[in-house]
Structures are given as structure tokens and as C-alpha cells.
Amino acid sequence: MSAIIPTLVKLLIQSSMAASFAVPVQEGDRLVLKGLDAQVQLVGIPGGNGLKVSGIEENSSEGAYVVSKKDHIIEIRMNEYDGKKAWMNILPKASSQMRKIEISGVSVPADIHLRGGSVVAQKWSKDLKVSLTHGRVSSTDGSGFLRAYVQKGDISIQDHTGRVNADTYAGSMSLKNIQGDVDASLFTGPLLAEKVRGFCALNSQIGPAKVLQGTGTLQFENGKGGFNISGFQGRIDGQNQEGSVSLQMALDSEVDIKSKAGRIQVQAPPSSGASVNLLTIDGDIFVPNELRVNKLSSEKSVRGRLRGEGQRGSIFVRSQDGSIVVK
């Protein structure tokens, strides 16, 4: 046997020719995985008492992934390449030689750092942090504090209970059915947040963004893209630059949006009697007939209430150059 057994104090047991190891887990243990490119799958199994790790090796060859445990840290790491020349040779073809690593069993807090590849988590019920330069992060049926950072690639989180932080520079992001606070940022690409319940902060600069249903507080920043909100119940606070914002308002919602140059359109429910407070400096205002646009040399404004019986909710919009439309 190699030196891996003394390193693990004989806690790991090689199961077969398949390079699979059983790792006993104690209270307070954490999982750390570091490497170049890999396809990682995490599967949480409630009631388990250990982890099964497949796809690792028990040797010191360059590029191989090995496992060790010390001071409550279960570490899966890639053996470094020796010298700059070796790194230069491997980097262009690393993605085509991607290792597949499967980790299943009792969930433990995990921290994964890779250059590229994918991390797919299923029913992982402990805190999870994933950082990729490029690739894909996916989580379903999870819980705990989930942090996903991808410079170029995709993030998909579905059916999650707990706090979520997600950040992508270029790619796509999908957040569905999340019970917990969300802080998500996407510079360029499509963003979807559906059925988020909690405090939801979204930042979208270039690309379409959609918020479908959800409850709580929505706080958003929109750059040059189109930002569409439909069926969100609660408070909506927004900052818009040159993009457009389209909002289908729920009956009791409170809307507060400030825009530099983009068009803001708010569709109120048919029975809404929400209070309305609108102002633009250089743009135009379009409102139902029961409201009057006051025009001064320096601004246009509207103050009043919609005609519906439901005397709840509010619409507060401020714009520099963009038009404001309330229907």
C-alpha cells in the first residue's frame, strides 16, 4: 500500500479495482476539493455514517486526484504538475482529460475549487461553496448556505431551502423554488428567478432577466437589459439604468423604482386602488384617465390613486429621461 493509509490513519478502505474509497465521517468534518478540471457529483444520503468517494487514485502521478484526512478536513486534491513546462503542456488539453469524481453519503460542509468542469449536487443538506473559472454548477433538493461562483458558465439551483449566493460574469442563471434569502448577480446573459420566497437581491447588467411569482422583498439593479417581473407579492425596490423594466404588479405590492433612461411600465391588477406617485424630468408619463399628469417646465408628475376598490399597494417611480407607463 502507498503512503495514503498512514496519512488517513487507516481511515480509508480501498473497495475494489474501481478506485473507490470509504471515508468515515465525524461531527465537525469538512470536505475540501481542489483541482484543475473535473466533473464532480455530490449526492447526499440521509442517515448515512460516511462518504463513498469514487474516481480518485492511490498514487502520486501528476494530475491524479488523491484523498486524505487530517484535523476534521477531508481533502480531495489534484497532484501538482512538476514545473512550468508540464503545466504549459497540460493546460490546453486539461478539459479533454477531465476526471470524474463521485461523492455520496452523509452531507458535510463542502468547499470546491476548480478551474473548469461541472459540479452537480443532489440532496446535499450542508453548506456548499463552489468556485469555477468556467463550467457549470447545478444543485437540486438541497439545503444550507449555497454559494456558487462561475466566471464564465451556467448556474442552476432548484428546490433549495436556505440562503443562496450566486455570481456569474457571462453565462446563464436559473433559480427556481427557493425558500430563503437570495443574492445573485449576472453581468451578461439570461437570468431567471422563479418562486423565490424571502429577501431576493438581483443584479443584471446585460441580458434579459425574469422574476416569476415569489413572495417577500425583491431588490434589483438593471443595467442595459430588459427586466420583467410578474406575480411577485411583497415589496419591490429597483434601480434601472438604460434598460427597460416591465412589472405585472400583485394586488398588495409596494413598488419603488428609480430609473436613469430606461422605460418603466407597471401593470396594476384590475381591482387595484393603489396610490400612485410618479415623476420624470425629461421623459413622458402615461396613466389611466382617472389620473392627471401635471406638467411644469422642469418636470412631469402624477399623484393620486387608481380607481379600483382594493385600496392597497403603492406605485412610486422616479425617472430622469425614460418614460413611465402605468396601466
Distances from the Cα of 36 to the Cα of 17, 87, 140, 144, angstroms: 24, 11, 24, 26
What value does the mean pLDDT take over residues 136-165?
Answer: 98
- Contact of 25 with 106, CB cutoff 8 Å: yes
- Those residues whose C-beta lies under 8 Å from the C-beta of residue 296, and which sit 6 or more positions away, are none
Query: pLDDT digits over 52-71, tens only?
Result: 999 887 666 666 788 888 88
What value does the mean pLDDT take over residues 12-34?
Answer: 74
3-class secondary structure, 1? coil
Which has the minimum average pLDDT: 83-97, 234-248, 283-297, 312-326? 83-97
Between the two ends of the chain, the Cα-to-Cα distance in Å is: 74
**pLDDT tops 50 at residue 314:** yes
Return left, alpha or beta for 309; rule: phi > 0 is left, psi -120 to 50 is alpha, else beta.
alpha
Query: pLDDT digits over 72-92, tens only?
Result: 999 998 876 555 555 455 555
Helix, strand, coil percentages for the chain (3-state, nearest 5): 5, 60, 35
Of all residues in the chain, what percent carry a pLDDT higher than 70? Answer: 87
Of all residues in the chain, what percent carry a pLDDT higher than 90? Answer: 70
What value does the mean pLDDT take over residues 271-300?
Answer: 92
For β-strands 226-230 and 209-212, DSSP reports them as parallel
Work out the number of other CB atoms within 10 angstroms of the CB of residue 147: 17
- pTM here is 0.86
Question: CA torsion sign, 302 to 304 to 305 to 307?
Answer: negative
